[in-house]
Amino acid sequence: MFALSSANLGFVLSGFVTGCLVGMTGVGGGSLMTPLLVLVFGIEPSVAVGTDLIYASVTKTAGTAVHGFGHTIEWRIVGLLAIGSLPTAVVTLFLFAWFGPNTAAANRLITDILSVMLLLTALVLILRRQIVRQYSRHFVAISPEIRRQITIVVGIMLGVLVPLSSVGAGALGATALILLYPNLPMARIVGSDIAHAVPLTLAAGFGHIFLGLTNFGILVFLLSGSIPGIVLGSYAAPRVPDAVLRFLLAGTLLFAGGRLAL
């Protein structure tokens, strides 16, 4: 099962490239890995999401360790997001299991949600500066209590989206944090976003394991590439300009979202 065939080498390389991008930008885990598994490797959408969630939880644990040593995580923000996301993820998974997780209808629903999320994530990446410039001034003057409440609401939204598509914790979560905490350096936004993704993807991933929607053979090869990738990317995060990376990611996501929507 673990022989290094050309397909397995493809999983390793996919994991490494995705890990590097996640470490540098906080984006690209589910946004890239799930469509890769579906479109390139022909994995069923429900299994691709389940496998990617565990992949993301382990990969982002490594990234969290690097950001933690670099003191680029705001743990208070991570906690507020988790207050909203973790209970919501459990409820979402319960409903997903109730309606039947590995049927043709479920796979179609996951594909539709995934394609919409990819296109939305791409637009957020492309328009992030305009969004921040347009709306950040509205968040500067809000009270700390309102800021905390909105952060929890963002967590609730991610708790619905991530278990169903494995997408959203990166670009959408990071953009929300940029709006809510405009004075935080980008490295701290990325570090906090990655740290919050760990418990969320782990909880969602365990739910998918319980439902039998995880391919552990593929997971091993993805992780063998992604762990060194995210460590390298996390070290490079404060040194790499993100403009080129954002537009490269956005173009890839637009292509993948369009392919899935067809």
- Cα Dmax for the chain: 57
Q: pLDDT tens digits for 150-177?
A: 999 999 999 998 898 887 777 678 888 8
- Give the tens place of pLDDT for each residue, 74-86: 999 999 999 999 9
Residue 1 has pLDDT above 50, yes or no: no
Q: Pseudo-torsion of CA 163, 164, 167, 169, nearest 10°?
A: -30
pLDDT of res. 80: 97
User: Which range, 17-21, 188-192, 249-253, has the best average confidence (pLDDT)?
Assistant: 188-192
Dihedral sign (CA 31, 115, 220, 85): positive
Predicted pLDDT of residue 113 = 84
- Model confidence pLDDT, tens digit, residues 100-151: 776 777 788 888 888 888 888 778 777 777 877 777 677 777 888 999 999 9
Domain ranges, ordered by start, for the chain: 11-261
CA atoms within 13 A on the CB side of 221: 19
Digit-coded pLDDT (tens) for 187-244: 788 889 889 989 999 999 999 999 888 999 999 999 999 888 888 877 776 676 666 6
